[in-house]
A and B are shown apart, each in its own frame.
Chain A
Amino acid sequence: MLNLQRWQTIAVIAFTAIAVLFALPNVLPAVVLDHLPGWYQQSRINLGLDLRGGAHFLLEADLRSVLNERLTNFGDSVRGELRKQQVAFKDITTEQGKAVVVVLRDESQRAKAIEAIRNVDPSLSVSGSGDTIRLAYSDQDLFRRKKEVIDQSIEILRRRVDETGTIEPTIVRQGDDRILLQVPGIKDTTDLKRKINQTAKLTFHLVNEDMAAAGPSAAVPPTTMMVPTREGMQELRRSNPKAWEEIQAANPRMSPEQICRRYQPQCLPVLKRVIVGGEDLDDAKSTFEQQQGGRPIISFTFNAAGGRAFCAATRANIGKRLAIQLDNEIISAPVVQSAICGGSGIITGTFTTQQTQEQALLLRSGALPATLTIIEERTVGADLGADAIHDGTVAALVGTALVILLMLIVYGPVFGGFASLAMMVNMLLVFAGMSVLGASLTLPGIAGLVLTVGMSVDSNVLIYERVREESANGRSPFSALATGYERALTAVIDSNLTALIAGVLLFGFGSGPIRGFATSLTLGLLTHLFTATIFTRMLLAFWVRWRRPTALPI
């Protein structure tokens, strides 16, 4: 049967209408969009960097060195712990990025030694026999640690690249040890590379408690400086956005003291002397207290040098506050409860888990955990992107016009027209699909669209040729159409599936702009199975009922 059932017709029309709806935000003016719900506004095609202009970096993190370093530190801690427990050992060595090997003097102390090691870090797997103890990360642990390093690097990059929160970079993990960084709209990458390098400066200072007690009007002695607190700055941003913007835009950057003097946010007097710098901080993470109801706390670890300096400073200043300064803000000023020796400590307080996570992140954001090497760079200037858009659009329009012309000549205004209409609806579906998926349109993606234009009428060619054949065999118009559609279907599906296979594999193996090509081509081939078959069949069924032709104009 050629005719679709009523529900089928309704379904086809509804489906097309929905597609129009989802493709619409691409062309609606901003004024109208602003009044529509957010999820709907987002149904738009993003332009790829090659069309929009911008920078694309693929960075590789040197995870090996990070793991090596961690293991070496761990080896140092083990050495100290074994000495403390009076376990004699011949040697402690680090196997490149894999394991720490402890060789004991006395085999009988093995159990004691393992227990001591467990105290330092219970997560490592223990192997070896006799006097040799091999400590290695389990695969799962290794994976987790690698992921941690990458996630941390991503957070730091985001903070560095997008200080002002306006440039919307895409920063995502790729594979095991890579980070993809895409920044739209920038042309000069020197500045971007400088920012990647830009360390947030993390320092620990003692609070000048005498002055803090004396109140804000007291004179600031030369050993002391006023530094705004993070809460103070956030409060300022809320209450006086203009001042905040001034601070952000100031060039050269304002010193913390200038900010305190000029805008008077909440500030703390801290001693200028730096107790420990962020470069000595190995790690900081949000955890929970072991006892007492498991309050969320922040735990941190210093390297050997940092640990010693921190130990001495905390021992001499119990009861005083220790300010942790990140760039120009004090992110936290906990009271020193006891001397913190042994290289690690905790910050307690009335924190929520979210707060401890944020604070830990801030503490870590001082230093990148791993060296990032640029292994791929692609920068496209905005005018180059504009040229590409222009070329792509012209090619697409001319291509579409030529295909329509060819179809009209060969199959006449009715059949050719319907096929062309279906092809245009197909384009609409592709746009809707890409909008819903939030896919990027790249220059190769435009090429994919042009190919889709050519390929999506192919299925109509197969069907129409079959109809011609059936018609030439003496069938009535109605019967020729019905049989044509029915019999051409296997060829239509078979011939398109192979192209689909290529598209899917291309998506799997390809990267960047090529994925854009694979996306638009695959999507186009999928949706055209609908437009070229059901949609044109519906149109022809209407037409046959309306005109009741005695012969098919094909």
Chain B
Amino acid sequence: MLWRPHHLIQARPNFDFLGKRKIAMVLSTVINVASLVGVFVFGLNFGIDFEGGIAIQVKAKQGNVQLEELRSTLGHLGVGEVSLQEFGDPSTALIRVQRQEGNNQCVANAERVMKKRAGDGWSVKPGPANTGDVEFTAPSSMDAVAWRDAVSRVGLTVQERQLPRGTVNTAKIDMTHEQRAEWCQQVAIKLVEDTIGSNYELRGTESVGPKIGEELMRNGILAVVATLAAIAIYVWFRFEWQFGVGALVALLHDVLCTVGLFVLLRLDFSLTALAALLTIAGYSINDTVVIFDRVRENMRRYKKMGLIELLNFSINETLARTLMTSGTVFVAVAALVLFGGPVLYSFSIAMLWGVIVGTYSSIWVASACLVYLNLRPEQLRMDAEKAEKAKA
């Protein structure tokens, strides 16, 4: 055969991996501490999924997006912090607007939108401070149907009961503070839409209200904790408790390192980023399990071997597959980074980094943990023999 398979590494490598465990420990500690410090000092760049707020994708109808111009117009709009970034290519931009509070500024914004969209005669005023009520005044008297159409121009969805009876020119829409805060996201969207003008085409709009943001955040944290715990418990059941702890430490290490990357590159931490985090947790443990599996097998086979020697031997034996399994996922994810487009960018970058970190941690964190946890080979062997006898 002309085409022979190519051995990635020699059949029986003999690196002293665990001899370098002190260096690895220092390196890992530094990265992890730096990540933690980074999270607390600089904070994560939370996307609207978790923080609430608005994201609008616009495309210039002609030429490129005038980022500076847009930035200064939108910055003084009265919708709080606005950030702009190029998204994918120079003709497209992502406008991020901070989460809106249901304050008087928002009511004033609603008035501006009303004046622009329904005519100058309109005014919108907040109701009493202990409620979230909003009072609309129209230039002329209108019936309930016309009122309904009018308030929907500022994105307000009302129930029939909230509308005035008869034909009047003032309507007080009763709302709670929470409802007003949710509505204010809609007001800001309208205001931004009105402001950016006709040179831009809206490609997509996302808004997440305060309530959902908090919920997604809570669910996200729960998901990470539950996943780490479930995986560690699984490994603990399949192996010994030391393996479970080793896996957990490696998982925490990988997750922290990835979070650190988000801080360092100021990547958008959104729901897809969370998906990346969980996938990394689930995937990075693959190599660890493969190594652990071999360690367990070798413990039964080489009863006289010391722990460090045994671990080194097992890691070397499985090195080819560790590199190869990571390699296949690495090239697949690399394709995502290069061609997956701007929406998936932070997800793909995080995954790519996670694959590297996960491979490193399988060798130097998870396995090194076994050394520090005094995995007693004698004990294990006895357990294994017992198990074998039971099987026989």
Considering residues B289, B340, B348, which has the most beta carbons from chain A within 10 angstroms of its beta carbon? B340
Q: Is the CB of B344 within 8 A of A510?
A: no
B211: contacting residue among A60, A279, A472, A498, CB under 8 A? A60
- The answer to whether B283 has its CB under 8 Å from any CB of chain A is yes
Q: Is the CB of B234 within 8 A of A193?
A: no
Convert A373-388 into 0s and 1s, putting 1 for each residue whose CB lies closer than 8 angstroms to a CB of B.
Answer: 1111111110110011
In the assembled complex, the Cα of A78 lies from the Cα of B176 at a distance in Å of 28
Q: Is the CB of A454 within 8 A of B331?
A: yes
Asked if A376 meets B212 with Cβ closer than 8 Å, knowing A384-B57, A514-B274, the reply is yes
Asked if A505 meets B351 with Cβ closer than 8 Å, knowing A412-B3, A444-B275, the reply is no
Q: Is the CB of B152 within 8 A of A193?
A: yes
In the assembled complex, the Cα of A469 lies from the Cα of B4 at a distance in Å of 17
Asked if A391 meets B212 with Cβ closer than 8 Å, knowing A60-B182, A406-B328, A468-B11, the reply is no
Asked if A375 meets B211 with Cβ closer than 8 Å, knowing A498-B235, A501-B234, A521-B279, the reply is yes
Q: Is the CB of B203 within 8 A of A381?
A: yes
Q: What are the residues of chain A within 8 A of B317 when measuring CB–CB?
A: 469
- The answer to whether B79 has its CB under 8 Å from any CB of chain A is no
Q: Is the CB of B202 within 8 A of A381?
A: yes
Q: Is the CB of A518 within 8 A of B335?
A: no
**Of residues 151 to 191 in B, which have CB atoms within 8 Å of A's CB atoms?**
151-153, 155, 157-162, 165, 176, 179, 182-183, 185-186, 189
Q: Is the CB of B155 within 8 A of A403?
A: no
Q: Is the CB of B204 within 8 A of A379?
A: yes
Q: Is the CB of B329 within 8 A of A458?
A: yes
- The answer to whether A18 has its CB under 8 Å from any CB of chain B is no
Considering residues A62, A407, A495, A503, which has the most beta carbons from chain B within 10 angstroms of its beta carbon? A495
Q: Is the CB of B207 within 8 A of A465?
A: no
- Would you give the shortest CB distance from A375 to chain B, in whole angstroms? 4
Q: What are the residues of chain A within 8 A of B8 when measuring CB–CB?
A: 410
Q: Is the CB of B289 within 8 A of A494?
A: yes
SS class, residues of chain A in contact with chain B: helix
Q: Is the CB of A502 within 8 A of B331?
A: no
Question: How many chain-A residues does the 8 Å CB contact rule pick out?
Answer: 102
- The answer to whether B327 has its CB under 8 Å from any CB of chain A is yes
- The answer to whether B124 has its CB under 8 Å from any CB of chain A is no
Asked if A502 meets B271 with Cβ closer than 8 Å, knowing A194-B152, A279-B161, A461-B324, the reply is no
Q: Is the CB of B5 within 8 A of A416?
A: yes
Q: Is the CB of B3 within 8 A of A517?
A: no
- The answer to whether B45 has its CB under 8 Å from any CB of chain A is no
Cross-chain pair count, CB within 8 angstroms = 295
Q: Is the CB of B179 within 8 A of A506?
A: no
Selected interface stretch from B18-26, B29-37, B214-222: B214-222
A506: contacting residue among B231, B279, B287, CB under 8 A? B279
In the assembled complex, the Cα of A499 lies from the Cα of B145 at a distance in Å of 54
- The answer to whether A443 has its CB under 8 Å from any CB of chain B is yes
- The answer to whether A427 has its CB under 8 Å from any CB of chain B is no
Convert A515-551 into 0s and 1s, putting 1 for each residue whose CB lies closer than 8 angstroms to a CB of B.
Answer: 0011001000000000000000000000000000000
In the assembled complex, the Cα of A394 lies from the Cα of B339 at a distance in Å of 6
Considering residues B238, B275, B283, B336, which has the most beta carbons from chain A within 10 angstroms of its beta carbon? B275
Asked if A511 meets B182 with Cβ closer than 8 Å, knowing A498-B235, A502-B282, the reply is no
- The answer to whether B44 has its CB under 8 Å from any CB of chain A is no
Additional 4 contacts, C-beta under 8 A, given A384-B203, A398-B335: A396-B335, A469-B317, A502-B278, A509-B223
Q: A residues bordering B, Cβ < 8 Å?
A: 50, 58-60, 62, 69, 187, 189-190, 193-194, 196-199, 201, 278-279, 366-381, 383-384, 387-388, 390-392, 394-396, 398-400, 402-403, 406-413, 415-416, 443-444, 446-447, 450-451, 453-455, 457-458, 461-462, 465, 468-469, 472, 490-491, 494-503, 505-506, 508-514, 517-518, 521, 553-554
A selection of 29 A-B contacts at a CB cut-off of 8 Å is A60-B182, A187-B202, A199-B144, A370-B159, A374-B185, A374-B207, A375-B208, A375-B212, A377-B205, A378-B206, A381-B202, A387-B341, A398-B339, A399-B331, A399-B335, A402-B331, A406-B328, A408-B3, A444-B272, A447-B344, A450-B336, A458-B286, A495-B287, A498-B231, A498-B234, A498-B289, A501-B227, A502-B281, A517-B275
